[in-house]
Chain A
Amino acid sequence: MNNWTERIPGILKAYEPDLLRAVAGRLCKPRNQWPIEELIERSIATLENTPVLDRRLRELAQPSRLVLALMAHSQQPRWRIGQLIEMTVALTPDGGLEPILDLLEAGLLFPDLPEGETINAFNMWLAHGGAHRPPAVIAPPLLLERLLAGYREGAAIAFDEALPPSTTLLGVTPLETDGLDWPLRLSVLWQQVSAAPLRRTQQQDLFKRDLDRLHADPLLATTSSDALVELPDPGMLAVAWSQALGLIENKEGDLVACAFDESWQDGLPRLLVRLLASLSDVAFWNPAQGWQVEGNVGNPYPSAYLLTLLLLSRAAADQWTRPADLEEWMLRRHPFWAAQSGDGAKSNGASRPPAKTNPRTGRSATQEPALAVFLLGLAYPLRLVQIARDPAGEPLVRLSDLGRWVLGLTDNPPLQPTFPQTLLVQPNLEILAYRQGLAPDLISRLGRIATWKTLGPACTLLLEPTSVYRALEQGETSEGIVRLLESRGMKGVPTPVLEALRTWSNKRQRITIFPSAALFEFPSAAELTDAMNRGLNAVRLTDRLAVVPAEKDIDYRHFRLMGTRDFLLPPDRCVEVQHDGVTLSIDLSRSDLLLETEMQRFSELSADFHPPGRRIYRMTPATVQAARKNGMTLAGLQTWFLERTGLPLSPAAHLFLTAGEMPPLDLRRQLVLHVPFAEIADGLQQWPATRDLVKARLGPMTLVVLEKDIETLRSRCAEINVKLQHGDE
């Protein structure tokens, strides 16, 4: 509930000044014109002031008190307005929206506003709510606690007098469950989702593969042995309920497992309060039709669940009620069904599939409340109600002691017998868990370390490499697992089990993944050693590299950062090629982690002096040829040069890389003819008489002539009065 306490100041800040003054005027009745911030502070102080809250509660009209009482009994401080209206209309002719508006204006209820939204009038805010975001309200937890305290002191809320009939049964033994069935099922579902997330369609349904998986699961798909009626789609209820509880969450379209929260550590009664409270947030499932993604707008069951339990609370502790009588009451009083009973053809969801017809009443599943299914299939396994049979064998229900406490009707939950030694660990890695010793904390821990195989009076689990691995990944240790099995076991842990746990645990140490680590690169091994001596909590990778799993653990006072590089950024140009084409100089302030591993593939660290801030690598024929042998291609090296130096591959590097593929180079003896002007060389290359005698042109004024053609060239040149002579003549 603390989360809601923290939210209320933020909500008050979202009120426009006029609205805030009006609300604070009723809540804390200031005598002066206070600034807005002061008004908010005073309003919060009032909501934490017990005597003032009691006064404000006494000032409220009966229907407004009824709204708060309903929220208090649900132990859920957030409710959709539509559901509150349904409940108040069912209970009193004065119910509806008015009491809720009255409480909003009195500062005793607050709109559940999204971050950043402001509000200037409550009726405008209500008008903007839609089916995709139904408006909801939050009540201050202390206010609800005061109401419950008042109830326990005898100041009961007024209900309609026409309660369902109840009866006294003599000589019957009430049936009551241990309440562990759903905590166990939710733990099974958590395991399933941990193993493989459930994928959601855009319509919020599950993909067929996951639906099939849940429908075929032997533990989730079957109705509990505790339940007296068949619950429709129990596996899907487990999914919806786990999501409402925060045991699984929607992450980018996938339902993934979260950690078990603290409500699993506080004992069964507290967990049952959470389970019942979150039942009002269960979407897409109801006891009449099971899993219903389409046409789920206006689900009346969250309000019907609470009304049903509150109706049972109005009967004396030894009185029993027929579920059918509760259904009849709901059919007449709850606006969802009362409206439909007036017009049988009118249905809330146009696209719903045809529902089964109840042979007793002749109505379809959408036209009557399936409260018997809720009571006998859900509330009974949750230990909220007790069951007895009348002489005709018909089931009758009444609230259990635990159910009364869950509704806030008694001060303390019934005492639970404890059986600490409840596990039997067998050499074949099976764990037998006797139900009488189980509790939510043990269920959640067992669910982490072993796989549920059967649920029953004695549940079985199996220790597997995957389950132990999952537990270790979630912070359990091998020693912790052994301690748990020994402290809760009826016998010592067998040696094969200890050995298996040790083997699996050691195997996990073989590969370590750092998904987003901070890696320290030191100039030399000495600096790394110095850093470790100063307490750097790091894993040494090489003589100069150390990895810190969490960057927040680094004490930066010991370090002078020479550069920071984000591994996720693309490669940077941080290498210069020297004039020799083989020397590569790295700018260390810009280089990334990949660079040197890349360079070591085709070059080697230079033994020469490295200027400050730079590191020198050198390509040699041997290093480049080695790279070629290891699969480096010309195109690959060219790309690397362009990315890292901004220049094309140096000719020297090109030579080193392609030298092995070249044919033998042709070494020839030939003469070079030097001419005084380029035009003369052009002429000799163009004139047909000399053209064939010029074998190549080396430069603008140099031509190649074969030795054997010299005399022919000499005579041709003589025809145009050009004389040839040897340079050394």
Chain B
Amino acid sequence: MEAKARIPVKLHRRVCLIQTEDALLAEEVLANKKLAQDVVGRLADRVLLIRPGRVEAVLQELQRQGHTPQVMG
């Protein structure tokens, strides 16, 4: 059987990000001043990059806002 070619890819390690169910929820997160300070970029409508080292603070603030985020990994 012919071996498949390897897929070229760039790997970003130790990335901290939030994925929301919809874009509106991401907007809601960004509208919160405390959370917005810890968001350094938006990779997609539903994907926000978190400032390194601020995951715990973001998690606590989301919980304080009444969200129940699922922590993966």
Which residues does A use to contact B, with CB under 8 Å?
465, 469, 472-473, 504, 507-523, 527, 530-531, 534, 539, 541-542, 545, 547, 549-551, 557-568, 588-589, 592-594, 597-598
**A597 near B19: Cβ-Cβ < 8 Å:** no
User: What are 10 A-B contacts defined by CB distance under 8 Å?
Assistant: A511-B62, A511-B70, A513-B62, A542-B43, A547-B17, A558-B4, A558-B6, A559-B7, A568-B14, A597-B49
Can you list, as one digit per residue, whether each of B21-54 has a CB less than 8 Å from chain A (1) or not (0)? Answer: 1000100010000000000111110110110110
Residues of A within 8 A of B25 (CB): 510-511
Contact among B19, B46, B68 with A469 in the assembled complex (CB-CB below 8 Å): B68
**B19 near A562: Cβ-Cβ < 8 Å:** no
B20 to A, closest residue via Cβ = A511
Contact among A508, A534, A560, A593 with B8 in the assembled complex (CB-CB below 8 Å): A560
Residues of A within 8 A of B53 (CB): 568
Docked complex Cα distance between A522 and B9 (Å): 5
**A593 near B9: Cβ-Cβ < 8 Å:** no
Contact among B9, B55, B58, B72 with A520 in the assembled complex (CB-CB below 8 Å): B9
Question: How far does the Cβ of B15 sit from chain A's closest Cβ, in whole Å?
Answer: 4
**B71 near A515: Cβ-Cβ < 8 Å:** yes
**A507 near B14: Cβ-Cβ < 8 Å:** no
**A521 near B14: Cβ-Cβ < 8 Å:** no
Docked complex Cα distance between A504 and B73 (Å): 21
Contact flag A541-B13 (CB < 8 Å), given A567-B52, A594-B41: no
**B16 near A514: Cβ-Cβ < 8 Å:** yes
Docked complex Cα distance between A514 and B16 (Å): 6
Question: How far does the Cβ of B68 sit from chain A's closest Cβ, in whole Å?
Answer: 4
**B18 near A511: Cβ-Cβ < 8 Å:** yes
Main secondary structure of the interface of A (DSSP, over half): mixed
Which residues does B use to contact A, with CB under 8 Å?
4, 6-21, 25, 29, 40-44, 46-47, 49-50, 52-53, 55, 58-59, 62, 67-73
**B9 near A516: Cβ-Cβ < 8 Å:** no
**A511 near B69: Cβ-Cβ < 8 Å:** yes
Residues of B within 8 A of A515 (CB): 16, 55, 71-73
Contact flag A522-B52 (CB < 8 Å), given A514-B16, A545-B44: no
Question: How far does the Cβ of B12 sit from chain A's closest Cβ, in whole Å?
Answer: 4
Docked complex Cα distance between A518 and B17 (Å): 10
Docked complex Cα distance between A593 and B11 (Å): 10
Residues of B within 8 A of A508 (CB): 68-70
**B70 near A512: Cβ-Cβ < 8 Å:** yes
Contact among B4, B19, B40, B47 with A594 in the assembled complex (CB-CB below 8 Å): B40
Contact flag A519-B68 (CB < 8 Å), given A511-B20, A512-B18, A559-B7: no
Identify the 8 closest CB pairs spanning chains A and B, nearest first: A549-B73, A597-B41, A560-B6, A519-B12, A511-B69, A549-B72, A469-B68, A521-B10
Residues of B within 8 A of A551 (CB): 13
Docked complex Cα distance between A560 and B11 (Å): 10
Residues of A within 8 A of B69 (CB): 508, 511-513
Contact flag A593-B71 (CB < 8 Å), given A510-B21, A541-B47: no
Contact flag A517-B73 (CB < 8 Å), given A508-B68, A509-B21, A598-B41: yes
**A509 near B70: Cβ-Cβ < 8 Å:** yes
B71 to A, closest residue via Cβ = A513
A511 to B, closest residue via Cβ = B69
**A513 near B10: Cβ-Cβ < 8 Å:** no
Docked complex Cα distance between A561 and B58 (Å): 31
Contact among A559, A562, A567 with B14 in the assembled complex (CB-CB below 8 Å): A567
Docked complex Cα distance between A16 and B37 (Å): 57
Contact flag A512-B19 (CB < 8 Å), given A504-B68, A522-B7, A561-B10: yes
Docked complex Cα distance between A549 and B4 (Å): 25
**B73 near A531: Cβ-Cβ < 8 Å:** no
**A520 near B49: Cβ-Cβ < 8 Å:** no
Question: How far does the Cβ of B42 sit from chain A's closest Cβ, in whole Å?
Answer: 6
**A597 near B15: Cβ-Cβ < 8 Å:** no
Docked complex Cα distance between A8 and B41 (Å): 52
Contact among A504, A514, A564 with B13 in the assembled complex (CB-CB below 8 Å): A564
Docked complex Cα distance between A588 and B62 (Å): 34
**A560 near B9: Cβ-Cβ < 8 Å:** yes
Question: How far does the Cβ of A519 sit from chain B's closest Cβ, in whole Å?
Answer: 4
A542 to B, closest residue via Cβ = B44
Residues of B within 8 A of A518 (CB): 11-13, 15
Docked complex Cα distance between A513 and B49 (Å): 10
A521 to B, closest residue via Cβ = B10
**A547 near B15: Cβ-Cβ < 8 Å:** yes
**A565 near B42: Cβ-Cβ < 8 Å:** no
Contact among B11, B58, B68, B72 with A507 in the assembled complex (CB-CB below 8 Å): B68
B18 to A, closest residue via Cβ = A513
Question: How far does the Cβ of B34 sit from chain A's closest Cβ, in whole Å?
Answer: 15
**A511 near B67: Cβ-Cβ < 8 Å:** yes
Contact flag A560-B7 (CB < 8 Å), given A517-B15, A521-B12: yes
**B70 near A520: Cβ-Cβ < 8 Å:** no
Residues of A within 8 A of B52 (CB): 567-568
Most chain A CB within a 10 A radius of its CB, from B7, B55, B58: B7
Docked complex Cα distance between A510 and B16 (Å): 17
**A516 near B70: Cβ-Cβ < 8 Å:** no
Residues of A within 8 A of B10 (CB): 520-522, 561-565, 588-589
Contact flag A516-B40 (CB < 8 Å), given A507-B68, A508-B70: no
